Amino acid sequence: MARLTIRIDLPPAGQIGPGKAKLLELIGETGSISAAGRALDMSYRRAWLLVDAMNHIFKEPVVSTMLGGKAGGGARLTPFGKEVLHHYRRLEAKATQACKAQLIALESALAKPGATPRPVANDPDTAE
């Protein structure tokens, strides 16, 4: 089915969208920025930069990190980070529900795979 993707611009600081939301989810699941980055086929550096950006655009950090060592390092979503992710996912779900009829209409307007597009009237490339 057609899917709605939402990116929220948060001027002047930055934005949050499906990639950052998924990164937060995976950090919550794995307890690791590097594991979350690998799951998204992204370098640790890229994942860390995205986490750092999110930690700076919000009033509180969304991810906290623990240094490595004997007990190992790690990362976790802060309670505030869980709240931010929850708000994003709720907004995404409500927007998808509100736009369901339009998504269905757009999906039904798609050409069938392998179909030849119909010529456009008054198109100089198809005029005889």
Answer whether residue 126 is part of any domain.
no
Q: What is the structure's pLDDT at 28?
A: 96
Residue 86 placed within a domain: yes
Q: Which CATH number characterizes residue 68's domain?
A: 1.10.10.10
CB 45 within 8 A of CB 54: no
Q: Calculate mean pLDDT across residues 10-37.
A: 95
Q: Pairing between strand 8-10 and 14-16?
A: antiparallel
Residue 37 lies in a domain: yes
Task: Examine the pLDDT at 70 and tell me if it is beyond 80.
Answer: no
pLDDT at 42: 96
Range of the domain at 34: 11-106
* Residue pLDDT, tens place only, 101-127: 999 999 999 888 877 877 777 766 655
- Domain count across the chain: 1
Establish if 120 belongs to a structural domain.
Answer: no
pLDDT band at residue 72 under the 50/70/90 scheme = low
In a domain, 15, yes or no: yes
| Contact present, 67 and 73 (Cβ < 8 Å) | yes
Tokens at 126, concatenated: 């198809």
pLDDT computed for residue 113 by the predictor: 85
Q: What is the mean pLDDT of the chain?
A: 90
Quickly state the pLDDT bin for 19 (edges 50, 70, 90): very high
Residue 127 lies in a domain: no
Reply yes or no on whether the pLDDT at 69 is more than 90.
no
Residue 80, SS3?
helix
Cα–Cα distance, 58 to 106 (Å, whole number): 35
